[in-house]
Amino acid sequence: MEKIKMTTPLVEMDGDEMTRILWKMIKDELLTPFIELNTEYYDLGLEHRNETDDKVTFESAEATKKYGVAVKCATITPNAARMTEYNLKEMWKSPNGTIRAILDGTVFRAPIVVKGIEPCVRNWKKPITLARHAYGDVYKATEMKVPGKGKAELVFTDENGNETRELIHEFDGPGILQGQHNLESSIESFARSCFEYALSTKQDLWFATKDTISKKYDHTFKDKFHDIFEAEYKEKFEQAGITYFYTLIDDAVARVMKSEGGYIWACKNYDGDVMSDMVSSAFGSLAMMTSVLVSPQGYYEYEAAHGTVQRHYYKHLNGEETSTNSVATIFAWSGALRKRGELDGNGELVTFADNLEKACISTIESGKMTKDLALITSIENPTVLNSEGFIKAIRENLEQLY
């Protein structure tokens, strides 16, 4: 077969440890034999971030703004142990945090659903994609312990020194206090990223807050989503045959449990923190979870939701066999290639992305899988493959589609 050509480069962000090993295997076995892979390569491996004083991370984010689509390998977020291990000049910030700040984006996490890895919730048939607002609320709150009797107030002082006050509570005895904030600009970016991603994936969008209790704070989230939807997205949603649905957070939780899935659930920061762990663990495995960062302008960065799988990497370095699941990393590539293909009108590339995903799914459904899945599958007598063997099995299935 003639290799598929790409007109626009994909921004490629390489990473660390076991996922860096998988990254190369995926390119060698599953991509370059089929595609004339056109990428602009950025090495976000910790050594190179350290050498470049982390400039490479900023450059890769800027390149994502230029070209629109990126694919990222998992990377180490340094801590004290990594400082010594890699002899770092500084405790560099999380690359994901840096990229998210530059793109002003929202992260969408979606499970990869296959037969044989059944979600705990029986009626969930399709993936539930979770979008978490990543700014403010309790994560940037100021707190105080109240020692005893006294009055607590919220005070806002404007640029001219004028004060607005609201009584919080007249304390009779000791207690606790917390001040939260958010920004209209951040809520608006969150809303636009959600609407963009719903359109891009043709899925309904759900959003929920506690606006009945929080009549100014949460209500602002509700209003912003409503206003942006009415002004910018209503017609586009109608054309795409999808809906925007707002409800109260407790009602949303009840409906999610009874639904069959197949929609995007947008959550405020705290709700998203809690609910994403619930949804992902109910779907089975972190190794089967993809993640995409979507900016309000419609730039996309695809990756796996898991980390660099450090424990497996040390086994690999010791010459021991590993059975690391590459599915989420492969789906990061297929997601990015599909989006690139859609933007460039490159049908062959879109079909390739579909086929690559089909090949992964049919491999697992035929009983060939890595150890993490073998432990939880309902398929009897699965064949456990090592990291490389699993990718080679996918290659065989992919070749049959060409």
Contact present, 182 and 137 (Cβ < 8 Å): yes
Footprint of ligand NAP on 67-106 (CB under 6 A):
74-77, 96
| Shortest Å, Cβ 35 to Mg ion | 36
203 versus 325: smaller Cβ distance to ligand NAP: 325
Q: How far are the Cα atoms of 11, 279, 299, 310, 362 from residue 111, in angstroms, in the given order?
A: 23, 9, 21, 22, 16
| Shortest Å, Cβ 81 to Mg ion | 21
Residue partners of 393: CB distance under 8 A and separation at least 6: 363, 368, 385
Q: Which stretch binds ligand NAP (CB under 6 A): 54-62, 116-124, 303-311, 391-399?
A: 303-311
Rg value, the chain, Cα: 23
Measured CA to CA, the distance from residue 167 to residue 355 in angstroms comes to: 60
Q: Which does 271 bind (CB under 5 to 8 A by kind): Mg ion, ligand NAP, none?
A: none
Measured CA to CA, the distance from residue 299 to residue 293 in angstroms comes to: 8
116 versus 341: smaller Cβ distance to ligand NAP: 116
For residue 131, the surrounding DSSP H or E stretch is: strand 128-132
Per DSSP, the residues of 50-87 read HHTTTHHHHHHHHHHHHHSEEEE-------HHHHHHTT
> How many CA atoms lie within 13 Å of 325's alpha carbon, on the beta-carbon side?
27
Residue 118 binds Mg ion (CB under 5 A): no
User: CA nearest 331: which of 366, 306, 311?
Assistant: 306
Match 């009840």 to its residue by tokens. 254
Contact present, 319 and 358 (Cβ < 8 Å): no
| Shortest Å, Cβ 334 to ligand NAP | 16
- Across 78-108, b (16+ Cβ under 10 Å) vs e yields beeebeeebeeeeebeebbebbbebbbbbbb
| Shortest Å, Cβ 137 to ligand NAP | 22
User: CA nearest 103: which of 128, 130, 67?
Assistant: 67
| Shortest Å, Cβ 57 to ligand NAP | 12
Determine which residue in the list 287, 289, 385, 398 makes contact with ligand NAP, applying CB under 6 A: 287
Q: Which does 43 bind (CB under 5 to 8 A by kind): ligand NAP, Mg ion, none?
A: none
Residue 273 binds Mg ion (CB under 5 A): yes
| Shortest Å, Cβ 132 to Mg ion | 9
Q: Which does 309 bind (CB under 5 to 8 A by kind): Mg ion, ligand NAP, none?
A: ligand NAP
Per-residue x/- track, 334-373, ligand NAP (CB under 6 A): --------------------------------------x-
Q: Which does 342 bind (CB under 5 to 8 A by kind): ligand NAP, Mg ion, none?
A: none
Q: Which does 273 bind (CB under 5 to 8 A by kind): ligand NAP, Mg ion, none?
A: Mg ion
User: In three state form, how does the secondary structure of 189-223 look?
Assistant: HHHHHHHHHHHHHCCEEEEEECCCCCCCHHHHHHH
Q: Which stretch binds ligand NAP (CB under 6 A): 184-192, 236-244, 309-317, 356-364?
A: 309-317
| Shortest Å, Cβ 269 to Mg ion | 11
Q: Which does 311 bind (CB under 5 to 8 A by kind): ligand NAP, Mg ion, none?
A: ligand NAP
Assigned token pair, 182: 């958010």
Residue partners of 182: CB distance under 8 A and separation at least 6: 135, 136, 137, 217, 220, 221
302: helix, coil or strand?
Answer: strand
Determine which residue in the list 175, 307, 367, 389 makes contact with ligand NAP, applying CB under 6 A: 307
Determine which residue in the list 247, 310, 366, 386 makes contact with ligand NAP, applying CB under 6 A: 310
Assigned token pair, 213: 């209790």
| Shortest Å, Cβ 371 to ligand NAP | 7
97 versus 347: smaller Cβ distance to Mg ion: 97
| Shortest Å, Cβ 73 to ligand NAP | 8
50 versus 276: smaller Cβ distance to Mg ion: 276
| Shortest Å, Cβ 46 to ligand NAP | 9
Residues that bind ligand NAP (CB under 6 A): 74-77, 96, 286-287, 303, 306-311, 324-325, 372
User: Where along the sequence are the contacts to Mg ion (CB under 5 A)?
Assistant: 273
